[in-house]
C-alpha cells in the first residue's frame, strides 16, 4: 500500500531523513519507532506532500506520488502530531468542514459524522466548541477528522502525545478497530509499549536512519537471549572495559561518563555480575536490567535507551 525508496531530506545542510526505504503492506499497522527528532514527522510530511523530498520516491497503492497528488488525496488520511482543528466551532462543524474538503456532502456526510462522533464517544458534546474540550477529546476528534472520508491509508503521527492514560487507551483501541475495518496504518511513536501492542511490523529510526525493520519477533532476535544491564556510578573506563573479560560472554555495549551498559546472556544470573562490579572497584549508584524487548534492541543498536 505504501512504498518508500531512498527518501532523504535536509534542513540547513543537516540530514533529517537519511535515504530511508520501507514498505507498508495492505491491512497492517506499521510502526515507526524512534525518539523525538529521529525523522518520523519529516517522513510523514513528505509522504503526504507537505514537504518535498531532496531525493527518493514514494508510492501509494502503486502510484508514484509526485505527479499524481489529486488522484491520491481520497486514498490518504493524515492525523498530524499538532491538533489540526478549528477551536471556535463545534466537533460536528469541524467534521463537516473536513468531510466537504474530500467531496462528501448531504446525507452521506451527515451519517458519517454521526458514526464517528458515536465511535469516539463525542456524541453528547457534538455541538460544543472544541476550545472547551479536554486534550484527550481533541485528540479523538483529530483522529476522527483524519478518517472522515474512510481512507485506504492512514498516517498517524504521535496521536497520543500529551494526553492522560485513559484517553490514550481510548485512542489505541480506536486505532486497532480502524485497522480491523480494513485501513492500512503508518503509526509513528516514541512509546515502546504502543509499538509492541499495536504494530504488525515496525521500523526503528534514529538520527534519520532506519536501524532495523521487520516483525517484533525478528527484531528482538538481534539481541538474542540477552539481558541488558545499565550501571550508573563511580568507575574508571579501564575497569569498565576490563570487566567483560572477567565474566564469560559479558559484552560491553556503551561507555559514557558515570554510565556503562553491558549485555549478558539470560542463562547467567546477575549475582556474579554485581559481585564482579564490586571487586573491580565500581561504586554502584544505580543498576537497571532490561529483558529482551524492543527497548533492549534500541540499546543494542544505539547504546542508549529510547527515552534519551
Confidence of residue 306 (pLDDT cuts 50, 70, 90): confident
Confidence of residue 63 (pLDDT cuts 50, 70, 90): confident
Mean pLDDT, residues 231-250 taken together: 85
> Could you tell me if residue 265 is inside a domain?
yes
Q: Is the pLDDT of residue 66 over 80?
A: no
Cβ(215)–Cβ(60) under 8 Å? no
Q: Are residues 209 and 243 in the same domain?
A: no
Q: Are residues 235 and 287 in the same domain?
A: yes
> Could you tell me if residue 308 is inside a domain?
no
- State residue 302's pLDDT score: 87
> Could you tell me if residue 303 is inside a domain?
no
Mean pLDDT, residues 47-66 taken together: 91
Domain that holds residue 96: 2-215
Q: Are residues 138 and 209 in the same domain?
A: yes
Torsion sign across C-alpha atoms 153, 172, 149, 77: negative
> Could you tell me if residue 305 is inside a domain?
no
Find the range with the poorest average confidence among 85-94, 129-138, 141-150, 293-302. 293-302
- State residue 244's pLDDT score: 73
Mean pLDDT of the chain: 92
* pLDDT over 70 percentage in the chain: 98
Which is more confidently placed, 241 or 78?
78
- State residue 69's pLDDT score: 66
Q: What is the pLDDT of residues 170-187, one digit of tens each?
A: 999 999 999 999 999 999
Q: Are residues 205 and 241 in the same domain?
A: no
- State residue 182's pLDDT score: 94
Q: What is the CATH number of the domain that holds 103?
A: 3.40.50.300
Q: What is the pLDDT of residues 245-285, one digit of tens each?
A: 778 788 999 898 889 999 988 888 888 888 888 888 889 99
Q: Are residues 20 and 105 in the same domain?
A: yes
> Could you tell me if residue 55 is inside a domain?
yes
Q: Are residues 162 and 21 in the same domain?
A: yes
Q: Are residues 162 and 246 in the same domain?
A: no
- Residues near 104 by Cβ (< 8 Å), separated by ≥ 6? 112, 148, 149
- Given 186, 215, 244, the domain boundary residue is 215
Q: Is the pLDDT of residue 68 over 70?
A: no
Q: Are residues 147 and 275 in the same domain?
A: no
Q: What is the CATH number of the domain that holds 286?
A: 3.30.70.100
283-290: strand order across its sheet = 251-256, 259-265, 226-234, 283-290
> Could you tell me if residue 296 is inside a domain?
no
Q: Are residues 182 and 36 in the same domain?
A: yes
Q: Are residues 128 and 170 in the same domain?
A: yes
**What is the DSSP-derived secondary structure letter of residue 129?**
B
- State residue 307's pLDDT score: 66
> Could you tell me if residue 300 is inside a domain?
no
140/306 Cα distance (integer angstroms): 26
Find the range with the poorest average confidence among 68-72, 230-234, 277-281. 68-72
> Could you tell me if residue 34 is inside a domain?
yes
Cβ(240)–Cβ(298) under 8 Å? no
Q: Are residues 138 and 205 in the same domain?
A: yes
- Given 193, 215, 237, the domain boundary residue is 215
The total of structural domains in the chain comes to 2
Q: What is the pLDDT of residues 191-230, one digit of tens each?
A: 999 999 999 999 999 999 999 999 988 998 888 888 899 9
- State residue 123's pLDDT score: 95
- Given 183, 215, 247, the domain boundary residue is 215
Q: Are residues 140 and 199 in the same domain?
A: yes
61/72 Cα distance (integer angstroms): 9
Mean pLDDT, residues 22-48 taken together: 95
Q: What is the pLDDT of residues 90-109, one digit of tens each?
A: 999 999 999 999 999 999 99
Q: What's the angle, vertex CA 264, arms to CA 258 and CA 267, rounded to 5?
A: 150
Amino acid at each position: 500500500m505504501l512504498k518508500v525508496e531512498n527518501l532523504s531530506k535536509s534542513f540547513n545542510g543537516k540530514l533529517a531523513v537519511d535515504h530511508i526505504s520501507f514498505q507498508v503492506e495492505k491491512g497492517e499497522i506499521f510502526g515507526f519507532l524512534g525518539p523525538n527528532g529521529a525523522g518520523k514527522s519529516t517522513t510523514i510530511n513528505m509522504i503526504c506532500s507537505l514537504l518535498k523530498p531532496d531525493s527518493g520516491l514514494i508510492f501509494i497503492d502503486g502510484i508514484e506520488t509526485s505527479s499524481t497528488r489529486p488522484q491520491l488525496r481520497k486514498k490518504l488520511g493524515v492525523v498530524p502530531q499538532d491538533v489540526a482543528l478549528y477551536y471556535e466551532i463545534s466537533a460536528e462543524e469541524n467534521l463537516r468542514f473536513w468531510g466537504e474538503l474530500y467531496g462528501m456532502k448531504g446525507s452521506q456526510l451527515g451519517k458519517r459524522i454521526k458514526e464517528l462522533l458515536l465511535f469516539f464517544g463525542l456524541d453528547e458534546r457534538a455541538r460544543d466548541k472544541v476550545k472547551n474540550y479536554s486534550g484527550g477529546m481533541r485528540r479523538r476528534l483529530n483522529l476522527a477528522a483524519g478518517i472522515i472520508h474512510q481512507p485506504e491509508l492512514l498516517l498517524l503521527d504521535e496521536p497520543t502525545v500529551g494526553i492522560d492514560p485513559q484517553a490514550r487507551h481510548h485512542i489505541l483501541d480506536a486505532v486497532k478497530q480502524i485497522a480491523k475495518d480494513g485501513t492500512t496504518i503508518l503509526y509513528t511513536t516514541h512509546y515502546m509499549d504502543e509499538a509492541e501492542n499495536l504494530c504488525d511490523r515496525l521500523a526503528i529510526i534514529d538520527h534519520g536512519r532506519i536501524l532495523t525493520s521487520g516483525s517484533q519477533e525478528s527484531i528482538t532476535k538481534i539481541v538474542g537471549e540477552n539481558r541488558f544491564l545499565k550501571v550508573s556510578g563511580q568507575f574508571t573506563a579501564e575497569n569498565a572495559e576490563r570487566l567483560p573479560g572477567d565474566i564469560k560472554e559479558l559484552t560491553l555495549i556503551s561507555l559514557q561518563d558515570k554510565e556503562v551498559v553491558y549485555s549478558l546472556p539470560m542463562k547467567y544470573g546477575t549475582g556474579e555480575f554485581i559481585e564482579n562490579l564490586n571487586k573491580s572497584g565500581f561504586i554502584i549508584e544505580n543498576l537497571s536490567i532490561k529483558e529482551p524487548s524492543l527497548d533492549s534492541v534500541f540499546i543494542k543498536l544505539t547504546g542508549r535507551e529510547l527515552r534519551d
